[in-house]
Structure formats: structure tokens, C-alpha cells
Structure 1
Amino acid sequence: MRRRHHFHIDYRGHSVSATVETGLRPVVEVLVDGKETGHETGRGDRPVAVPVELPTDPPTPATVRASLGPGVPRCLLIVEGDAEPHVMAPRLY
């Protein structure tokens, strides 16, 4: 059964959102400031990493890491140069 889970974080003036669609072929889609910047297809319950760039000057490389299971998915925003990953809050749609 496929389900969609939504996650969001505001990071240094930029909006980062992720949609995780679970099921036989899980898909993770990432939007930065409302524009699709990356998507990846996963396998089973393995974590999926989606590389993105934050539109700063110069652009800041980042990765959205989605843990697909078991249970409810979770997402982290990992920004190059930051010591700790940032937890993306789940959103109900």
C-alpha cells in the first residue's frame, strides 16, 4: 500500500520540503523554495539520500536523507559545513 508523508524545514531563509511516498518502490521528492530540485527512488526500507543545493551565493550543497522504515519515515537536512543534521518536521496535508 502506498502512502505519502510530507516534511518541512525553514533553513536560513529557505524553505525545504520533502515528500516521501512509501510502497514497493519508494520515491523521495525534494523542493527548495517551492521548486523541485531533486528526487530519488529507493529500495525497500533502505535510507534514500537526495542531493540538493540551497540558492545562496555561492550555492550551498545539502542532502535530504529519508529513513523509510520500519515504521513512519523520517527526514534530515544535512548541510555541508554544519556540525549536526537538521530534523525536518512532519506535516499533515
Structure 2
Amino acid sequence: MRARHHFHIEYRGHSVSATVQTGHHPVVEILVDGKETGHATGRNDRPVSVPVELPTEPPTAVVVRATPGPGVPRCLLLGPEDEEGHVMAPRVY
């Protein structure tokens, strides 16, 4: 069964949102400041990493790592100098 889960974080002055659609082939979509900047499809409950750039000067490369399951999905934002990442908060729509 497919379900959509939303996550959000403010990072370096930018809004980063993720939508994780669970199911046999999970889909992850990333928005930066309201614009779609990346998406990826996964397989089963394996983590999916989506590289995106923040519109800074120079651009900042970050990675959103979504774990679709088992259980409730989770998202982390990994910045250029972050080893553990930042937990993206679940968001209800």
C-alpha cells in the first residue's frame, strides 16, 4: 500500500522539503525554496539518497537521505561538513 509522508527543515537560510511515497518502489521528491530540485526512485525499504544544491554563492551541495521503512519513513539532510546529518521534521499536510 502506498502512502505519502512529508518532511521539512530550514538549513543555511533555505527551506528544504521532502515527500516520500512508500510502496514497492518508493519515490522521493525534494523541494528547495519551493522549487523541485531532485527526485529518485528506490526499491523496497532500502534508503534512497538524493543529491541537491542549495542556491548559495557558491552553490552548496547537500544530500537528502530518505529511509522509507520498515515502519515510519525518516529523512536526514547531510551537509558538506556534516557527518551525522540533520533530522528533517515530519510535516502534516
Taking structure 1 as the reference length, the TM-score comes to: 0.97
Identity %: 76
- State whether structure 2 residue 67 is matched by structure 1 residue 67: yes
| Aligned residue number for residue 20 of structure 1 | 20
- Aligned pairs (5 A) from 1:1-80: 1-80=1-80
| Amino acid aligned to 1:41 | T
Of Structure 1 and Structure 2, which has the larger fraction of its residues in strand? 1
Deviation at 1:68, TM superposition (A): 1.1
**How many residues end up aligned between the 2 structures?**
93
| Equivalent position SS for 2:56 | coil
State how far apart, in whole Å, the 2-side matches of 1:71 and 1:51 are.
Answer: 24
- TM-superposed CA distance for 1:12, in Å, is 1.5
- Kindly report structure 1 stretches of 4+ aligned residues shifted beyond 4 Å: none
Separation in structure 1 between the aligned mates of residue 62 and residue 40 of structure 2, nearest angstrom: 15
Distance across 1 between alignment mates of 2:57 and 2:18: 23
CA distance in 2, matches of 1:40, 1:86: 20
Tell me by how many angstroms 1:81 deviates: 1.8
* Residues 1:90 and 2:90 aligned together: yes
TM-score (norm 2): 0.97
Question: Cα offset for 1:83?
Answer: 4.2
Q: 1:16 is paired with a residue of what secondary structure? A: strand
How far apart are residue 82 of structure 1 and its match? 2.8
